[in-house]
Amino acid sequence: MGQPTAAYHKDLMREFIGDVMGGMPQCFYCVHQNPDKPNTCKAYPDAIPLEIVANEVDHHEAYEGDGGVVYQAKPGAESTTPDEEK
Protein backbone atom coordinates (compact mmCIF):
# COMPACT_ATOMS: atom_id res chain seq x y z
CA MET A 1 0.00 0.00 0.00
CA GLY A 2 1.29 3.49 -0.88
CA GLN A 3 1.72 6.54 1.29
CA PRO A 4 -1.46 8.36 2.40
CA THR A 5 -2.25 11.30 0.13
CA ALA A 6 -2.67 14.94 1.11
CA ALA A 7 -6.40 14.58 0.43
CA TYR A 8 -6.54 11.66 2.87
CA HIS A 9 -4.89 13.76 5.58
CA LYS A 10 -7.21 16.70 4.85
CA ASP A 11 -10.27 14.46 5.16
CA LEU A 12 -8.94 12.91 8.35
CA MET A 13 -8.33 16.36 9.87
CA ARG A 14 -11.83 17.53 8.89
CA GLU A 15 -13.35 14.44 10.51
CA PHE A 16 -11.36 15.02 13.72
CA ILE A 17 -12.25 18.73 13.86
CA GLY A 18 -15.88 17.92 13.12
CA ASP A 19 -15.99 15.45 16.01
CA VAL A 20 -14.24 17.79 18.46
CA MET A 21 -15.56 21.20 17.43
CA GLY A 22 -18.73 20.43 15.52
CA GLY A 23 -17.18 21.49 12.22
CA MET A 24 -14.38 23.51 10.74
CA PRO A 25 -14.08 26.96 12.27
CA GLN A 26 -15.85 29.56 10.14
CA CYS A 27 -12.58 31.52 10.27
CA PHE A 28 -11.03 28.90 7.98
CA TYR A 29 -13.28 30.14 5.16
CA CYS A 30 -13.00 33.90 5.83
CA VAL A 31 -11.03 36.38 3.72
CA HIS A 32 -10.04 38.30 6.84
CA GLN A 33 -8.10 35.38 8.34
CA ASN A 34 -4.43 36.20 8.96
CA PRO A 35 -2.38 33.41 7.35
CA ASP A 36 0.81 34.60 9.06
CA LYS A 37 -0.51 34.65 12.62
CA PRO A 38 -2.79 31.75 13.68
CA ASN A 39 -6.10 32.52 15.41
CA THR A 40 -6.04 36.17 14.32
CA CYS A 41 -7.72 38.21 11.62
CA LYS A 42 -8.49 41.75 10.53
CA ALA A 43 -11.33 41.95 13.11
CA TYR A 44 -9.29 40.40 15.93
CA PRO A 45 -5.57 41.07 15.39
CA ASP A 46 -4.64 39.78 18.86
CA ALA A 47 -6.87 36.68 19.09
CA ILE A 48 -10.20 35.59 17.64
CA PRO A 49 -12.72 34.93 20.44
CA LEU A 50 -13.24 31.25 21.20
CA GLU A 51 -17.00 31.61 20.64
CA ILE A 52 -16.32 32.47 17.00
CA VAL A 53 -13.60 29.86 16.45
CA ALA A 54 -15.83 27.18 18.03
CA ASN A 55 -18.77 28.21 15.80
CA GLU A 56 -20.90 29.13 18.82
CA VAL A 57 -21.38 32.57 17.23
CA ASP A 58 -22.12 33.11 13.54
CA HIS A 59 -19.83 36.00 12.65
CA HIS A 60 -21.92 37.15 9.68
CA GLU A 61 -23.28 39.65 12.21
CA ALA A 62 -21.24 42.15 14.24
CA TYR A 63 -19.76 40.77 17.44
CA GLU A 64 -18.18 42.55 20.37
CA GLY A 65 -14.77 43.97 19.55
CA ASP A 66 -14.76 43.23 15.80
CA GLY A 67 -14.73 46.89 14.75
CA GLY A 68 -17.44 46.18 12.18
CA VAL A 69 -15.37 43.58 10.34
CA VAL A 70 -17.49 40.46 9.89
CA TYR A 71 -17.18 37.11 8.12
CA GLN A 72 -16.71 37.27 4.36
CA ALA A 73 -16.24 34.04 2.43
CA LYS A 74 -13.01 33.45 0.55
CA PRO A 75 -13.55 33.08 -3.20
CA GLY A 76 -14.33 29.43 -3.87
CA ALA A 77 -14.77 28.65 -0.17
CA GLU A 78 -16.23 25.24 0.51
CA SER A 79 -18.60 26.73 3.05
CA THR A 80 -20.05 30.12 3.81
CA THR A 81 -21.47 29.47 7.26
CA PRO A 82 -20.59 27.04 10.02
CA ASP A 83 -23.82 25.10 9.41
CA GLU A 84 -23.03 24.53 5.72
CA GLU A 85 -19.98 22.32 6.29
CA LYS A 86 -19.66 19.94 3.35
Whole-number pLDDT of residue 14:
64
Q: Which residues of the chain are modeled with pLDDT < 50? A: 80, 82-86
Whole-number pLDDT of residue 54:
84
CA dihedral 39, 74, 82, 41 (to 10 degrees): 20
Q: Could you tell me where the DSSP H helices lie in 1-86?
A: 6-21, 50-53
Whole-number pLDDT of residue 20:
62
Whole-number pLDDT of residue 9:
64
Whole-number pLDDT of residue 58:
93
Cα(58)–Cα(60) distance, integer angstroms: 6
Whole-number pLDDT of residue 85:
44
CB 29 within 8 A of CB 39: no
Whole-number pLDDT of residue 86:
38
Half-sphere exposure of 21 (CA within 13 A, CB side): 21
